[in-house]
Chain A
Amino acid sequence: MRQRDTWLVLVVLAIGLLALPFMTDALLGRGWVRILDFTLLYIMLALGLNIVVGYAGLLDLGYIAFFAVGAYCYALLGSPQLGLHFPFWVILPLSALLACLFGVLLGAPTLRLRGDYLAIVTLGFGEIIRIFLNNLNSPINITNGPQGIGMIDPIHLGSFSLGSTHELFGLTLPPVHLHYYLFLFFTLLVIFVSLRLEGSRIGRAWMAIREDEIAAKAMGINTRNIKLLAFAMGATFGGLAGGLFAGFQGFVSPESFGLAESITVLCMVVLGGMGNISGVLLGCLLLVVLPEVLRHGSGPAQQLLFGRSFVDPESLRMLLFGLALIVVMLWRPAGLWPSRQHRSELTAKDNLTKSSRDDRT
């Protein structure tokens, strides 16, 4: 019975996810499908950061750098900038791999740092990457500096281009819809990898380091390798999302990868519930969708209530954003949907029967 229920939920969920862009398109307009696409990108990013911050407990404030590395790798290998036009299936793994390499590069010198100190170094790393991207236009023009790289090849799966509208099975699929399905595939992949890692020997070692690094060492965990692995895995997800972003957007510039973006992704992880995949998903959904709702809704709402607009929707967005964070941190410090351990305590079937038997004797 339980098994059948699970399947039912999964089937409904799958149909819902597949139909989502069409429903959104019909109800809210095409702009919202684009927001959905970005939500999926943010989910990939946040799940990557969740490995570093949520599982291994290493506070990383420069995470967006890996997103930038992935995006620029994609942009350089698939645009007129360097005259290179590699196929999608070559560039995307390369983007992820390069980001992974940068993850190890950042991880190696910071192994002895924790908490505030680690946060400062990672913050610096994020800025270094952005500043490099900003300035690598001379003496040799690699990144095209602050102008960014444009005319990036649209994503091609074989001869199927995601950059143009297709007619499939009687349905009209514009590029945003096509990208939605591609991103959905990669998001599910990232969720799958996260889930598998969470319950594994490696996942336990990450959490052990988060809980008490010295005890983890004494238990024989090679903390150096395990921490590097966390950085590398997190960065890989970031690079993957970056590559997809570049292909989707067709344009990358350094200003997309500032500190504010790092903080936003970190907020998604913290607000939703560090170390819990469902929590992170919730965090992403809230922090991408709510600001958009505000952006579109606050102007008309003010007009309706006061007859004119008092506060610029953009500033209102930041105000409410900050307020929401403070409220959540005050009342739900572990996040909106805290990690499974807090719940598993209540549903421990494992030894309940045994222990109640013990109590009686």
Chain B
Amino acid sequence: MMTSAKPHAPLLELSDIGKSFGGLSALSDISLHIRRGEIYGLIGPNGAGKTTLFNILTGLYRADGGRFTFDNTEYGGHCKSHTLARAGIARTFQNIRLFSNMTALENVMVGRHLRTRSGIWGALTRNAATRAEERETLQRARELLSYVGINRPHQTLAKNLSYGEQRRLEIARALATDPKLIALDEPVAGMNSTETDSLKKLLRDIRAGGTTVLIIEHDVKLILSLCDRVAVLDQGKKIAEDTPDQIKCNSAVISAYFGIEPAAYEQNSTKLPTARLPDQANHDHP
């Protein structure tokens, strides 16, 4: 890891990231950059490598090759999860991974772990510094819960929250780490349109609060209406990176999704359907 002073560098820049599992190449030579304050969409058919890319960015997988620069610091193919979290990358999971037997409040408090420092001694003596830190943690956790719109008793166990609330709790927990980039893996999967709309508003609020958003989603309508720029992955390769309007007309994207030649497609329709694309469960999760 080395620090290079590039004042107007993008927040996250990937160069030639590659990853294969045995003989299967999950990602090859992915290069892209995400600017500060952007909502950046990552789409692609199932198995395209989107979640694998997330896992590399959050240190859960070791990349075979390439490197990425985050917030002016360069990271090799592999870096410890907690180092990356400290640097400011937080994430949610496609198949919700909450601490299910802990309360909603505790889940968010765990998110504060890396921004607090009290250890064994502090816990045993409960000295002034520890008490202040705990108060602050509790306060911040409560704020975040109401910020993401969880209006239940905060002592509710995470597993007893509704599905939509669990997704929001994951976001609150990620926000508790004070991230510069929040990476959301299919945040609206399984939600109805009302829930999707309110989540969209939440994501806009998060961006307005200065956090860059990276989002994987199969809901094309959401991606097109929310994102500033979109990258499309197919079979481990980046096939397009552009604004949503351009992506809609990109021939490579159309053929990746529908498996037909653009010419044939254009005879039937002039733009991508705005309905949801099928979103079966991905299996490229750790």
Query: A residues within 8 Å of B by Cβ?
Result: 193, 196-197, 200-205, 207-208, 211-212, 214-223, 229, 233, 339, 341-342, 344-345, 347-348, 350-352, 354-355, 358
The contact size tier of chain B is 35 or more
Contact A341/B60 with A219-B113, A219-B173, A221-B110 known, Cβ cut-off 8 Å? no
B128 at the interface (CB under 8 A from A): no
A211, A219, A233: the one within 8 Å of B101 (CB)? A211
B227 at the interface (CB under 8 A from A): no
Q: Mark B91-121, 1 if CB is under 8 A from A, else 0.
A: 1010001111111011001111110101110
B86 at the interface (CB under 8 A from A): yes
Nearest residue in A to B109 (C-beta to C-beta)? A204
Q: List 15 A-B contacts (CB under 8 A).
A: A197-B123, A200-B122, A201-B113, A201-B116, A205-B113, A212-B100, A214-B97, A218-B58, A218-B97, A220-B86, A220-B113, A229-B120, A348-B153, A348-B155, A352-B153
Contact A211/B114 with A200-B123, A351-B153 known, Cβ cut-off 8 Å? no
B82 at the interface (CB under 8 A from A): yes
Query: B residues within 8 Å of A by Cβ?
Result: 58-60, 80-82, 85-86, 90-91, 93, 97-103, 105-106, 109-114, 116, 118-120, 122-124, 126, 130, 133-134, 137, 151-157, 160, 173-174, 177, 286
Contact A218 B118 (CB under 8 A): no
Q: Which of A205, A220, A354 has the most CB of B within 10 A?
A: A220
Question: Given A197-B124, A218-B90, A350-B105, list of 19 further CB < 8 A pairs?
Answer: A196-B123, A196-B124, A200-B122, A203-B123, A207-B101, A211-B99, A211-B100, A211-B102, A214-B93, A220-B85, A222-B80, A233-B120, A341-B101, A348-B156, A350-B153, A352-B153, A354-B151, A355-B151, A355-B153
A204, A218, A220, A222: the one within 8 Å of B60 (CB)? A218
Nearest residue in B to A352 (C-beta to C-beta)? B153
Contact A221/B113 with A201-B137, A215-B93 known, Cβ cut-off 8 Å? yes
Contact B99 A197 (CB under 8 A): no
Contacts of B58 in A (CB 8 A): 218
User: How far apart are the CA atoms of A358 and B130 in the complex, in Å?
Assistant: 33
Contact A208 B99 (CB under 8 A): yes
Contact A218 B156 (CB under 8 A): no
Contact B102 A205 (CB under 8 A): no
User: How far apart are the CA atoms of A207 and B102 in the complex, in Å?
Assistant: 8
User: How far apart are the CA atoms of A205 and B117 in the complex, in Å?
Assistant: 12
User: How far apart are the CA atoms of A221 and B101 in the complex, in Å?
Assistant: 18
Shortest CB–CB separation between residue A276 and chain B, in angstroms? 12
Contact A207/B106 with A222-B82, A344-B155 known, Cβ cut-off 8 Å? yes
Nearest residue in A to B125 (C-beta to C-beta)? A196
Contacts of B154 in A (CB 8 A): 348, 350-351
Contacts of B156 in A (CB 8 A): 345, 348
Contacts of B112 in A (CB 8 A): 201
